[in-house]
Amino acid sequence: MSNIDKHEITLNINGNSTSLTVEGRTLLHDTLRRAGMVSVHAGCEHGVCGACTVRINGQSARSCITLAVQVDGDEITTVESLAKGEELNIIQEAFWRRHGLQCGFCTPGMLMRVTEFLEENPDPTRDEAREAIASNLCRCTGYQHIIDSVIEAAARLRGEEWSDDAGIPARELGDATEVSN
Amino acid sequence: MGLGGMNKLNWIGRSLPRVEDKKFLMGRGGYIDDMDLHGMLHVAVLRSPFAHAIIKGMDTSAAEALPGVVAVITGKQAAELCDWMPDFNPEPNLHKWRVLADEKVRYVGEGVAVVVAESRYIAEDGRDLIEVDYEPLAPVPSARKAQEAGAALLHDGMESNVAHDSTLAFGDVDGEFERAAHIVREHVYWGRTAAQPMETAGSVASYNPGNGMLTIHANSVALTNFSFLVAGTLKIDSNKLDLVPMPAGGSFGSKFWATRATVTAGMCSKFLGRPVKYVEDRLDHALSCDHHGSEREYDIEMAISADGEFRALRLVCTDDYGAYFQFGLGTHGNAMSQVIGPYDIKAISYRAVGVLTNKCQQGAYRGFGSEVHNFALERLVDKAAIELGVDALELRRKNFITPDKFPHKIPGGNVYDSGNYEAVLQEALKDARLDYWRAEQAKAREEGRYVGIGIVTQQERSVYAANEWWFFRGAEGVSSVPESVSLHVDALGKVSVTMYSTAFWGNSPETVAAQVLGEELGVNPDEVSFAYQGTNKGLPGSGPGGSRFTVMITGAVQGASAKIRDKAIKIAAHMLEVAEGDLEYVNGGVQVKGDPSQRKSLAEIAIMPRLFKHQLPDDITSGFDADMVYDHPYTTLPTADRSDLGIFYPMMAHATHIAVVEVDVETGGVKFLDYIAVHDCGTVVNPRSLDGQVIGGLAQGVGQALYEEFVYDDEGQIQSSSWLDYLIPSAMEIPEVRLGHHETPSPFTPYGMKGGGEGGRMHAPAAIASAVDDALKPLGATRATHLPLTPERIISMVNGH
């Protein structure tokens, strides 16, 4: 263990080519966190829960059971890539309006999985959405509001308006005294 | 209640998107593991492979020689660096626990040494190089075996492994049982689970030897008014410890008071004079978190009159507690708060036996003992209906405490503040389509399929007072459970809130405070900012727990807002040259009563005490801030003779849950066909947020009922320490829930709110078990009284075992 092998690798993280020195055993999730992508959360650390889900060349994957050296030269996408500055993307905003999160710890992995899913299936049924997110565990929500968020996001991505029961941010409501009657 | 003159609520009651959420959606939540300090070191904990063993010796030399390892601290050394761990049990001298075991290990996974290194990888390498010489002792793998003659003793100072055995009785229990026309008995087992949040417990400690200050950022210390206990363990002055709360990636009780990670990091940082991070990995957290949930066995019986009136309840509850007794019988005190459920039972006897075993210690998990009692009571009520040959719903209805009886003092002393159980049940039945499901059930039976309907009506106590800590003991206890906020209005009229405990763990403390501020100060909830202050200089806080935070933070925000409004009116009176009495605070500003044209906005007012104090009357000081320490709104102390335990958990929410399941009698699998949950949590602040709490708790109830269990074998070896074996439900295991809310406002809280954070988990297990029973009725199966109802257990029930 004292002479641990070192490897020079290059990852394309959210569009930025990043050169890193890692050990052969260094996990991808640790590597990404060290590179500043702290959205990549270690939940179970044995590939069950999906909190560490990132996309590798577009494919969702568990970064806690992936070695960094395995993905040398690959494109890695994390939640840090989704929002534009202060502006959430549509999927993030759907999660916000439909309360698709509580503690937020599984959320980045969930968002990466849902992003992939909606690219494959832009008009899912609730059952399809449920099955799609069964790859990722959430201990807070009981999943129902996540599924609501997926359906909401899909509709918005197809160009539809926010549904009537999607929450409206207080800032958009402005002075509630004028609208609450 | 609320703001005088403002009857209509503008923000409370709206399903606003939560103000906490955007940062989490961006991956910028700022959890404990996201924190890095310059020169920070990392910890790995070496854990015992034995359930029960003497530590004869330890060789750490190879670990210490490993490049990158900075220190190894053994349990023996830790015992010199640290005092005993904080403990809330009645006789802490008999069964003390340490941050690391020093002489003896008492469960698989108990820490025996830590390695501190430049990276977690190196710390774990070092850990593998430590040699420990154990002398195994006979394991004590269950409460039953722990009480057998000749069982090994976990703690040498004790005469047996029974840490506590006492009975609380109120009313004429024996007389009621003598007079009873029917006595119904049930035996119930509740398997050991744990909250297992997605994020484990963790801390970053930084000790400055120059001034002796130890600053520890932690995601797991809500009871901040007890931080002095952590200082005592770390052997520093209580005013030199600053415990700074961090957002938590879930808790469900597990981070209510989890001090081991904090003491681990603090001990290492103080010893080395460098910043140290310790975040449990999943194995650490599964084997040796501060809080496994309850593992309990009940013998419970009820005396029932000839016409079906519940008269008295008598139970013996044995806790298979684990190795240490950190909360004593607090989880039974908790159950005592709603011991009679929603039923007008006149007398109760509650014997609680706490038995120490070679397992991880118990602590808090969503319900804190009340959920287990709910399960036992509803299983008993279902059985009573069968034995009496009456409809289970009608039996419940007949015994409901009716709305005219509130506030209702229950045997023991707690008061139920308000409620309307029939209305909640009606609302659930309205949506349940029971006729449809009964027809489906009949059709299914003809096809050899087994569909069942389970209905439970249960309590959901909220807003605890500390009184419960001293149940089952005679000593004086603490009584303070305050919550505090500070409000700050800056020169431009923007409002900031400071909170004083680990407030966020997936609940909505900021959203609640922001919506209340919308009412109280007329500010837009999305424009409020939030900060969390550490315990050093902090106002007292108790944090979330016992479904208290919404009510308590609302009281604190309301009180602080009143102070801000008073000052605003004083300043505006001067600015408008109008008498204070002629002014009112309306919609984010101060105006002449009835004349909105003479008005100053909060921003116009705020700049005065911030920048122009000397243009104001002398009695108006600079600054525009208000502190509020809000104490429990409705609690009383126990009487000296404990004939009345006092009011300690009075905001009594209620729920009806209806589960419809299909049981596959070949595989033992249970599938949901429908699920209805109607809750009455008083005035609802944010309906969608409350829905989320209900469904999330319900999902944990599904896990408890069907999937999750920390199984220990006869050697005390844990069989389900990974999430491959400890089965957290995925989306495929959780039903779509149809939700409803009934609102019976509490007469004792701001806006009439009650807590609802633990609800789903308090109700789902009994509803599911009842539905499984109903499904298997034609097969003559044994009843679903042993959780979890794994496929093996279901098959065994079908086979009559």
The predicted-structure confidence for A42-84, as pLDDT tens digits, reads as follows 999 999 999 999 999 999 999 999 999 999 999 999 999 999 9
Strand B111-117 and strand B495-499: the pairing is: unpaired
User: Is the preceding peptide bond at B788 cis, omega within 30 degrees of 0?
Assistant: yes
Could you tell me the CA-to-CA distances from B566 to B490, B495, B685 in Å, in that order? 16, 16, 25
pLDDT of residue B474: 62
Nearest to B125 among A1, A45, A170 (CB): A1
pLDDT of residue B92: 78
A104 shares a domain with A67: no
- Residue A103: give its domain's CATH number: 1.10.150.120
> Among B420, B397, B337, which residue's Cα sits nearest to residue B758?
B337
If one counts the domains in chain A, the total is 2
- Residue A16: give its domain's CATH number: 3.10.20.30
A12 shares a domain with A77: yes
CA distance to partner chain A, nearest, from residue B505 (Å): 6
Contact: A104, B8; criterion CB under 8 Å: no
- Residue B487: give its domain's CATH number: 3.30.365.10
A106 shares a domain with A56: no
Residue B164 lies in a domain: no
B516 shares a domain with B498: yes
Contact: B10, A140; criterion CB under 8 Å: no
A59 shares a domain with A99: no
A139 shares a domain with A94: yes
Residue B675 lies in a domain: yes
pLDDT per residue as tens digits for the range B37-65:
999 999 999 999 999 999 999 999 999 99
Amino acid identity, residue B504?
Answer: F
pLDDT per residue as tens digits for the range B361-408:
999 999 999 999 999 999 999 999 999 999 999 999 999 999 999 999
CA distance to partner chain A, nearest, from residue B425 (Å): 23
Question: How many CA atoms lie less than 13 Å away from B351 in the CB half-sphere?
Answer: 13
- Residues in chain B with CB shorter than 8 Å from the CB of A80 are 26-27
Domain enclosing residue A147, as ranges? 90-157
pLDDT band of residue A176 (cuts 50, 70, 90) is: low
Residue B185 lies in a domain: no
Residue in this structure with the two tokens 């922001």, named with its chain if needed:
B514
- Among A81, A100, A126, the domain boundary falls at A81
- Among B630, B655, B670, the domain boundary falls at B630
Evaluate whether A106 touches A141 at the Cβ level (below 8 Å): no
**Per-residue exposure over B265-274, b if at least 16 CB sit within 10 Å of its own CB, e if not:** bbbbbbbbeb
Looking at residue A150, what DSSP letter applies?
H
pLDDT of residue A3: 55
Average pLDDT, chain B: 95
B591 bridge partner residues: B584, B599
Contact: A139, B728; criterion CB under 8 Å: yes
A95 shares a domain with A140: yes
How many pairs of residues across A and B have Cβ atoms under 8 Å apart? 219
- Residues in chain B with CB shorter than 8 Å from the CB of A33 are 33
Domain enclosing residue B82, as ranges? 32-137+194-288
Is residue B638 scored above 90 in pLDDT? no
A110 shares a domain with A60: no
A125 shares a domain with A69: no
Residues contacting residue B56 through CB under 8 Å, at least 6 positions apart: B133, B134, B135
Looking at residue B762, what DSSP letter applies?
H
Contact: B507, A102; criterion CB under 8 Å: yes
Is residue A125 scored above 60 in pLDDT? yes
pLDDT of residue B221: 82
> Among A4, A180, A172, which residue's Cα sits nearest to residue A93?
A172
Nearest to B730 among A26, A105, A137 (CB): A137
B323 shares a domain with B278: no
Residue B177 lies in a domain: no
Residue B150 lies in a domain: no
CA distance to partner chain A, nearest, from residue B296 (Å): 23
Nearest to A101 among B24, B514, B588 (CB): B24
CA distance to partner chain A, nearest, from residue B735 (Å): 8
pLDDT of residue B471: 67
Nearest to A144 among B19, B732, B736 (CB): B736
B378 shares a domain with B448: yes
B649 shares a domain with B501: no
More confident residue, A181 or B452: B452
Give the separation between CA B14 and CA A129, rounded to whole angstroms.
27
Question: Looking at beta carbons, which pairs linking B60-67 to residues 24 or more positions away fall under 8 Å?
Answer: B60/B113, B60/B130, B62/B129, B62/B130, B62/B131, B63/B115, B63/B126, B63/B127, B63/B129, B63/B130, B64/B126, B66/A1, B66/A2, B66/B117, B66/B122, B66/B125, B66/B126, B66/B129, B67/A2, B67/B122
Contact: B31, A41; criterion CB under 8 Å: yes
Residue A77 lies in a domain: yes
Residue B476 lies in a domain: no
Contact: B199, A138; criterion CB under 8 Å: no
Amino acid identity, residue B719?
Answer: Q
- Among B578, B601, B630, the domain boundary falls at B630
A99 shares a domain with A63: no
A98 shares a domain with A72: no
If one counts the domains in chain B, the total is 3
Amino acid identity, residue B16?
Answer: L
